[in-house]
Amino acid sequence: MIRLAKIHLIVFALAFLLPGMSAGNEKYPLLAETPVVATSVKAQQEKATAPASGNTINEIKVAAVRLIAPEAQVASNPELGAAPEEPVEPGEPTVSELPVLIAVIIDDLGNQRGAGERTVELEGPVACAIMPHTRHATYLAQRAFAVGKEVMLHLPMQPMQMQRIAGPGEISLDTKRRQLKHILQTDLDSVPHVVGVNNHMGSLITRHPGHMRWLMEELSRRGDLFFVDSYTTPSSVAYDMAVEKGVPAARRHVFLDNEPTAEHVSRQFERLKHQADINGYAIAIGHPYHVTLDFLEKTLPGLSEHGYKLVSVETIIKLQNDQQPEDPAVGEPLQTANAIL
């Protein structure tokens, strides 16, 4: 109201001062350099002699504001509409339009062809983590690659239960530095098109900095693979060693099916979305159980309708690295029902 009162006073002052001016008046060079403004002022002067209608008064106000304080037009006069927002480059979404990102990894692929094919046929960029030296590893890796899905090496690592073997191609506490390099290479050779690695089991060895440092040095030397810590123990140092060696890396946030029931998978997926809402992104790990695949086949096609976008693991890793967090958000280490981690 104070601004509007000031503008009214200026308008009446101009009514007395401006009649003697012209666009070419040397005493007022700014008017000569801005003919559009001068013309509008002149028009207001001519209209000033006519009976003042509501529209005429508004036009005089607008002209005065434009002449005296162009940047104050909208702030001083609501009749001029809302202030223009900062221009947005074409195709560049605003913050409110950005979807929340979710990535899903399906582990333990390679032993069962049918479950593996269902995984490959899931909608969107679901990552396929394939066990090395398994019967269907090559076939499923080629199928996944052909449809644009990420292929990951699901690298067997020694669990806490010393009597258990994580699988062929396992890295254990007994593995020496040179042996680790050879094991990793043969594992990678058995699964084509690999772009990343995550651990299968590994609740024992992922807590040992020495072996994890050796592994990350090998991945860093290759320079073309990322690493996801499946985070089967809160004592895992795998992610930290990856960051230390410059390997693009992330941690798992949620296990979808540590209890392979429909109710639990649904509940865990809600946890995944909640975690993604907090961080802007989240990574889930599931397994090729019928209940998990049934749920994902039903849920993934409509995910975008609820403000979430299914993306590759690499997309989230790049986003996380751009944000450079001190420590990535993580979920609780969980144990799957059918595997000792």
Same domain for 245 and 316, yes or no, is yes
Same domain for 100 and 68, yes or no, is no
Same domain for 23 and 123, yes or no, is no
- Which tops the pLDDT comparison, 265 or 331? 265
Q: Judging by beta carbons within 10 Å of its beta carbon (0-12, 13-18, 19+), is residue 30 exposed, middle or buried? A: exposed
Same domain for 43 and 174, yes or no, is no
**Residue 340 domain-assigned (yes or no):** no
Same domain for 136 and 283, yes or no, is yes
Same domain for 210 and 71, yes or no, is no
Same domain for 45 and 106, yes or no, is no
pTM score of the predicted model: 0.70
pLDDT in tens, 197-218: 999 999 999 999 999 999 999 9
| Structural domain span for residue 161 | 96-323
DSSP 66-128: HHH-GGGHHHH-GGG-SPPPPP--TT---GGGPPEEEEEEEEEETS-HHHHHHHHTSSS--EE
Same domain for 190 and 307, yes or no, is yes
Same domain for 75 and 102, yes or no, is no
We report the CATH number of the domain holding residue 146 as 3.20.20.370
Same domain for 123 and 196, yes or no, is yes
Place of tokens 């040095």: 217
**Residue 87 domain-assigned (yes or no):** no
What's the mean pLDDT in 268-282? 97
Give the chain's domain count. 2
Task: Please say if the pLDDT value at position 5 is more than 60.
Answer: no
